[in-house]
């Protein structure tokens, strides 16, 4: 029930202000006399449906999902297992781990914005501002200052010493860029031990004169064995969760 109300509030946040204004119904009824009535969908409904379509992408870009899915994809490539685990498994892991990391932030949004809004003790605009604060704090903790400075400069604005006043139009691309940098840095560190195994196997095959045999075919079992022995999945998921700084 808690998360259902949170989803309702997020959906309301995506509704354009024009559709909330009085005097502009979403569906217009046109009377054609003897032909009866016709219904026309107004522009507000089209904008609303477009925003709801883009809402999942917007939410994923402001959560740990980007870093997690990239790291898991690079891990799969480093193991050399092709499409194992499949994409659906990686996306599911990324979603649930993102939900696990964002749980404190979502609880803060629920307590500060959703509960007061549904109890009619807080107006919608104030509830929106209250819901924005925990999410902004989370994104600022993960975003590097150089990315914020870069996008502030691109926007043609002076960087404010108060990061809380940074507009979302600048914070979101800076956050995404910082997440991409962190994801590829972690992926590089994950790749190193598997590349070493590939080099050792390739050197051994060359010394034995078995140059026609693919080194990947021989090295993959050793990489899987190493990954299992060090409890790789728990280590990777735990390290990913610990890499996020909570506000």
Distance of CA 72 to CAs 51, 60, 131, 146, 197, Å? Answer: 29, 16, 30, 26, 19
Least reliable range by pLDDT among 28-42, 131-145, 172-186: 28-42
- Write phi, then psi, for 141 (nearest 5 degrees): -65, -30
Predicted confidence band of residue 45 (pLDDT cuts 50, 70, 90): low
> Minimal CA–CA distance to 52: which of 15, 7, 22?
15
Task: State pTM to two decimals.
Answer: 0.74
- Does residue 40 have a pLDDT over 60? no
Lowest mean pLDDT among 10-14, 16-20, 32-36, 57-61: 16-20
Residue listed under structure tokens 């032909």 = 35
pLDDT of residue 195: 86
Measure the CA–CA gap between 163 and 135, rounded to whole angstroms.
Answer: 13
* Per-residue pLDDT reduced to its tens digit, 181-202: 999 999 899 888 888 888 888 8
Residue 148 CA to residue 158 CA, distance in Å, equals 11
- Closest to 201 measured CA to CA, from 192, 186, 213, 191: 213
Q: Over 70: is that where the pLDDT of 56 sits?
A: yes
Per-residue pLDDT at 160:
62
Name the average pLDDT for the chain. 76
Instruction: Compute CA 102 distance to the chain's CA centroid, rounded to the nearest angstrom.
Output: 10
pLDDT digits (tens, 9 = 90+) for 96-123: 998 888 888 888 888 888 788 778 777 7
Six token digits for residue 246: 């909570």
Does the pLDDT value for residue 244 go beyond 80?
A: yes
Q: What is the pLDDT of residue 119?
A: 80
> What residues form DSSP beta bridges with 222?
none
Two structure tokens written together for 28: 């217009």
- Closest Cα partner for 236 from 181, 194, 177? 194
Per residue in 226-239, pLDDT (tens digit) is 888 888 888 888 88
Residue 184: the pLDDT is 92
Dmax (CA) for the chain in angstroms is 92
How far is the C-alpha of 194 from the C-alpha of 139, rounded, in Å?
A: 32
């Amino acid at each position: 029930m808690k998360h259902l109300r949170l989803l309702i509030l997020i959906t309301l946040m995506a509704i354009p202000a024009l559709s909330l204004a009085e005097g502009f119904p979403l569906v217009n009824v046109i009377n054609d006399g003897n032909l009866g009535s016709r219904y026309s969908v107004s522009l507000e409904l089209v904008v609303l449906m477009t925003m709801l379509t883009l809402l999942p992408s917007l939410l994923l870009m402001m959560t740990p999902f980007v870093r997690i899915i990239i790291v898991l994809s690079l891990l799969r490539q480093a193991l050399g297992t092709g499409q194992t685990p499949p994409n659906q498994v990686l996306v599911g892991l990324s979603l649930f781990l993102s939900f696990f990391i964002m749980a404190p932030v979502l609880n803060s949004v629920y307590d500060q914005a959703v509960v007061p809004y549904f109890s009619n003790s807080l107006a919608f605009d104030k509830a929106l501002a209250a819901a924005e604060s925990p999410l902004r704090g989370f994104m600022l903790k993960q975003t590097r200052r150089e990315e914020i400075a870069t996008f502030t400069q691109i926007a043609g604005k002076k960087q404010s010493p108060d990061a809380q006043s940074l507009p979302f139009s600048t914070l979101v691309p800076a956050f995404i860029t910082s997440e991409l940098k962190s994801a590829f840095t972690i992926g590089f560190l994950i790749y190193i031990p598997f590349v070493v195994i590939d080099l050792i196997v390739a050197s051994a095959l060359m010394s034995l004169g078995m140059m026609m045999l693919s080194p990947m075919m021989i090295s993959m079992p050793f990489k899987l064995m190493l990954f299992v022995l060090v409890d790789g999945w728990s280590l990777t998921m735990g390290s990913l969760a610990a890499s996020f700084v909570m506000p």
